[in-house]
Amino acid sequence: MDRSQFDAIIFDMDGVLIDSEPLWKIAMEEAFQSVGCNITRKDFQKTVGLRIDEVVRFWHKERGWEGLTCEQLEDVIMQKMVALVKANGEPLPGVIETIEYLRTNGYKIGLGTSSYRVLIDAVLETLQLTTSFDFIHSAEDEIHGKPHPAVYLTVAARLKVAPQRCLVIEDSFNGVVAGLAAQMKVVCIPEKTHHPDERLGIATQNYSDMSEFLKDFSL
């Protein structure tokens, strides 16, 4: 990969910086079961990469429940996620080294995630990355979440870098589509609990982990 074609690197968060997808599945399974909605962790493959409000609305339409509104169930899930991240969160292999390399070599670094700000703060504090990004943005603040490109376009605009000079690092199909729709190159490092997904082949490049990406990018 020719690093000279990029001025900014924009990271997704869940499944890219932190191995949070298993934690999401635990939090959601417990929360949905609390309202009598028995959705398994395998079922959640259908909603990977969506904002939590979109996930909850999807399953409310599919299965339905009583007792809590969608907004109240979102709050339950987020509270569980924050606690799980603080107790179990660790950076994925190569993340710290990659961010250090990018900062040392003058790249602008952004974060564009579907997660809400409360979880972003918990993850960055837990991973000790609170000062690592030039701009942090949540799709919570956009009308549309991924696969819509809005979150990535906003990050590029705030970094003052043309989308075509940005490289996105993603782990899910919805995220890859969002980055490509923003006219950015997209590296995909598939989250390991996802079923193999041939659709991820649309990414500009696929790697097994961040360390492999860094080795190629720094050549």
Burial class of residue 3 in the structure, from the number of CB atoms within 10 Å of its CB (0-12 exposed, 13-18 middle, 19+ buried): middle
**Known catalytic residue at 19:** no
Phi first, then psi: give them for residue 201, nearest 5 degrees. -65, -10
Q: For strand 8-11 and strand 205-206, is the pairing parallel, antiparallel, or unpaired?
A: unpaired
Burial class of residue 155 in the structure, from the number of CB atoms within 10 Å of its CB (0-12 exposed, 13-18 middle, 19+ buried): buried
Q: Which residue among the candidates 2, 14, 53, 197 is catalytic per the annotation? A: 14
**Known catalytic residue at 53:** no
CA-wise closest residue to 189 among 166, 215, 153, 213: 213
Q: Which residue among the candidates 2, 12, 75, 209 is catalytic per the annotation? A: 12
CA-wise closest residue to 111 among 139, 136, 142: 136
Q: Which residues are catalytic?
A: 12, 14
